[in-house]
Amino acid sequence: MNNIIEKLKKTQDLDDNELRQLLECQNTDDIEYLRKSAEMVRQEHYGKDVYIRGLIEISNFCKNNCYYCGIRAGNKNTDRYRLSSEQILDCCKNGYALGFRTFVLQGGEDAYYSDELLCSILTQIKNNFPDCAVTLSLGERSYESYKKLYDAGADRYLLRHETASPEHYSRLHPDSMSHENRLKCLYDLKKIGFQTGSGFMVGSPFQTTDNLIADLRFLQKLKPAMIGIGPFVSHHETPFADFENGTLELTLKLISILRLMFPKVLLPSTTALGTISPTGREKGILAGANVVMPNLSPVMFRKLYSLYDDKICTGEEAAECRNCLNNRMLSIGYNIVVSRGDIKE
């Protein structure tokens, strides 16, 4: 297996057969060799720096009905909330004081946030915090809408492709949602000039090794600046309530593979990873991740932004989360840095 890992490190690529062997490999020495190689590449480009993004969950209203997601429209057993411009600006102010230089506005697909409203929010954030980057993660919108948001100052956009296989996509989403449109949105975002992020859940229902290989191939084609992956975690009010969660082991292995394939990519160690394992986020960094995204949302709404069960960090103030993550990173010899954290050229 070491020669396959070396090849991946040297060429940033493998053939399907080699990828399959690596994805299905259970040998702990081989997996440790993969992890170590990924950590070395990470350190070549980013040293021991960890970039932070302040996550602001602006709305849990959503028109979609993704089978895995707890804020799906069909979930009638949740209270819905949305943040006002003032509340969002307040989160940024709080975050700025704590050293955040990137704010991520994430939410369900909520038509309340018109282009006009979002552009006005973006203008205010950019005026108040000119040295900060703003990332949006608000789902599928039209080319024209994305263009307006970009022109109003948004720097980055996160839109996970979720799965590169149309057949698998149709098992995770209702017929009203289209795989084709999701991919079109990603190409639109890139064309407009956004630093674009994509990604997928690890261990989502019905996922096969071939699906994962297709996900990696799609990312090679898209060449995103950011790749978000995390384990699938079931939510009790969804059609996937009874499915097993994705595993720590496979998620970490994929983080390492992604680091070797995309040496400079921005790769978060996600909250979902911290949810399935108490030290999941630390392990993600040690496997090659270079970003963490602590929560800046007002505490009173945190529990309502419940994409999956048992989500961590729903009770703490932003300052506590920031402090806790700081200590977690220090405990493994890494440092959170005050920086926009753009991708290295």
Q: Contact 102/132 with Cβ under 8 angstroms?
A: yes
Q: Contact 288/255 with Cβ under 8 angstroms?
A: yes
The CB-of-13 to ligand SAH minimum distance in angstroms stands at 25
64 versus 124: smaller Cβ distance to ligand SAH: 64
Cα(55)–Cα(294) distance, rounded to whole angstroms? 6
34 versus 228: smaller Cβ distance to ligand SAH: 228
The CB-of-235 to ligand SAH minimum distance in angstroms stands at 5
Taking the alpha carbons at both ends of the chain, their separation in whole angstroms is: 31
Q: Contact 109/62 with Cβ under 8 angstroms?
A: yes
The CB-of-195 to ligand SAH minimum distance in angstroms stands at 15
- How many angstroms separate the Cα of 263 from the Cα of each of 33, 128, 189, 226, 281? 16, 33, 22, 11, 19
The CB-of-293 to ligand SAH minimum distance in angstroms stands at 11
The CB-of-245 to ligand SAH minimum distance in angstroms stands at 8
The CB-of-74 to ligand SAH minimum distance in angstroms stands at 13
41 versus 183: smaller Cβ distance to ligand SAH: 183
37 versus 245: smaller Cβ distance to ligand SAH: 245
Q: Which residues bind ligand SAH (CB under 6 A)?
A: 68-69, 106, 108-109, 137-139, 159-160, 162, 201, 230, 232-233, 235, 272, 307-308
The residues, ordered by sequence, that sit 6+ positions from 127 with a Cβ below 8 Å of its Cβ are none
75 versus 106: smaller Cβ distance to ligand SAH: 106
The candidate with the shortest Cα–Cα distance to 232, out of 252, 217, 251, 219, is 251
5 versus 159: smaller Cβ distance to ligand SAH: 159
The candidate with the shortest Cα–Cα distance to 239, out of 160, 172, 175, 304, is 172
| Burial class of residue 263, CB neighbours in 10 A (0-12, 13-18, 19+) | middle
- Tell me, rounded to whole angstroms, the distance of Cα 79 from its chain centroid: 24
